[in-house]
Amino acid sequence: MNANQVLDSLIDVDKARAFCDARKARLLARFAELRAPGRAGTDLADGAPEEVALELAMNPHTAAIHISQARDLVTRLPATTDALEAGEIDYVRAKAMNDLTSVLTEEQARRVESKVLAFGKRANPSRFRHSVRYHVIAVDPSAAERLRRTAKADRDVTGRDLPDGMGQLAITLEPHEAQAAYDQINMLANKVKTPDKTLAQCRADVFLDLVLGKNNERLRVNLNVTVPMSTLLGLNRLPGEISGHGPITAEYARELAQDAMWRRVITDEHGQVLEVSRRRYASAALARHIRLRDRTCRQPGCGRSADRSEIDHTVRYADGGVTSVDNTNALCRKHNLMRERSDWDMTQPLPGTLVFRTPAHRVHTTTPEPYEPAPF
């Protein structure tokens, strides 16, 4: 292929992807129709996002967002959906149209899409968004102000794990507040800058001092950490693992061990946690065992840590189920309630092995992710 052929093929691929995105949106919107909510005040039937999440291997919360966005796009913005299907715009631009017109009436939203789509993609997604914003304000200035106030009400500080053994905090503020905070941190970082630290490192240190105090002591940690004893003794550098986070280096595990309370956890040759106790109500030992075994909520796709989930009976206690390692599992509050309010069914033929049957009668079998065995 010469350069022109490559570029033409890229255009074809981009249009094909847009067509598939439009097709996916229409399918998700249709699924939402088939799973109409059974309770007042809900957008979807209980368990509907979980069905999609199971088939597409995604988080149920993400699936719910995708379904909601697809339904809005298809029903409120048919011209935008058609333009996406024809490859005239991509999904990034279609989503921008959907998000930014969400505070408008259906009639107003269609007026905006008519104005914006008349000029195509624009030079880049940013310019497309600017055009949508302009016409949203022009159509209904009050709605634009409501959108700004809604965004302000959603300000928050969030945290996430990074793959290199670090964590990240993100704060969402109004632009002038974010700029003022950054300028203050940057100014203080420049004051304490030393040759052995970068300015970026100083900004991180200043932020920590502002939040925890200048002379903050190491915080005591209460974590479920699995690590070979030989690593703690410094005999090797085999990795450990923090429940809900993932693998950590031997050095980090030893750092945590200095201020953490440790419990022994025994696994079998396959890396599965062995039984701890059995009683009517989950004892602290049994609950700890189930959380260590399951690691997250066992609803497929849900990433909520088992430490923040409930210990649930597979066969309900009221139906004769016992509180044992082969009849309990971790489910977050949301998915525990989902079992009560939907047609999802779950069995546990072997300890830790859960079989899910969806309302569409599809069967999925899951087992806890095993802990990595020592490579010797």
Binned at pLDDT 50, 70 and 90, residue 218 comes out as: very low
Please state the separation of Cα 255 from the chain's center in Å: 28
**Torsions phi, psi for 267 (to 5 deg):** -120, 160
Specify whether the CB–CB gap between 221 and 260 falls below 8 A. Answer: yes
Would you give the DSSP letter of residue 273? B
pLDDT tens by residue, 66-83: 999 999 999 999 999 999
With cut-offs at 50, 70 and 90, classify the pLDDT of residue 60. very high
pTM exceeds 0.75, yes or no: no
233 pLDDT band, cuts 50/70/90, is confident
Q: Determine the average pLDDT of the residues in 186-192.
A: 91
Predicted local confidence at residue 103, as pLDDT: 83
User: CA quadruple 257, 258, 261, 263: dihedral positive or negative?
Assistant: positive
Angle of helix 125-139 relative to helix 91-100, nearest 10 degrees, comes to 20
Q: Work out the mean pLDDT of the chain and round it to a whole number.
A: 84
**CA 32 vs CA 67, 240, 314, 336, 373: distances in Å:** 7, 42, 28, 22, 43
pLDDT at 120: 86
Of residues 50 and 147, the one with the higher pLDDT is 50
pLDDT, tens digit (0-9, with 9 covering 90-100), for 326-340: 889 999 999 999 988
* pLDDT above 50 (res 64): yes
Report pLDDT digits (tens) over 104-140: 899 999 999 999 999 888 878 888 988 888 888 888 8
The CA distance from 243 to 225, in Å, is 6
